[in-house]
């Protein structure tokens, strides 16, 4: 969450490998590149999500698995984020899954 709060800063950009991608259950296709990922987080954390709290974190090798819950559109939302880092420790891929379906559909709009 600290990284998301740094969205748009040099520190945010430095956390990513060249040409990172973000795949999400609320998107038709991937976000490619730091600027596209930053735009996604600006939209989802700035206006759509009311609250978010990370509840569990596990790291295994180059992957970090995060579980979270919160509120969006006045409804409970939860999900999982999987971060994959390259050998230098920079984020090269993000997988982001939301539930329940009703909230996924609202986010996708």
Q: Is pLDDT at 1 greater than 60 in this prediction?
A: no
The tally of CA atoms less than 13 A away on the side-chain side of residue 62 is: 11
Q: In what order do the strands lie in the sheet with 49-60?
A: 31-32, 16-24, 91-99, 75-85, 63-72, 49-60
Full domain range(s) for residue 23: 2-108
What CATH number does the domain containing 79 carry?
Answer: 3.10.450.50
pLDDT of residue 40: 86
Cα separation, 81 vs 56, whole angstroms? 10
pLDDT tops 90 at residue 4: no
Mean pLDDT of the chain: 87
pLDDT band at 70 (very low <50, low <70, confident <90, very high): confident
**How many domains in the chain?**
1
Q: How much is the average pLDDT of 26-38?
A: 92
Q: Are 1 and 52 spatial neighbours (Cβ–Cβ below 8 Å)?
A: yes
């Amino acid at each position: 969450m600290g990284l998301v709060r740094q969205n748009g800063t040099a520190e945010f950009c430095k956390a990513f490998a060249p040409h990172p991608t973000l795949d999400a259950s609320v998107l038709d296709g991937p976000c490619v590149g730091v600027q596209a990922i930053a735009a996604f987080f600006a939209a989802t954390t700035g206006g759509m999500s009311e609250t978010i709290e990370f509840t569990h974190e596990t790291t295994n090798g180059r992957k970090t698995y995060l579980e979270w819950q919160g509120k969006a559109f006045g409804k409970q939302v939860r999900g999982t984020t999987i971060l994959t880092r390259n050998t230098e420790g920079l984020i090269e891929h993000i997988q982001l899954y939301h539930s329940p379906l009703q909230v996924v559909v609202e986010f996708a709009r």
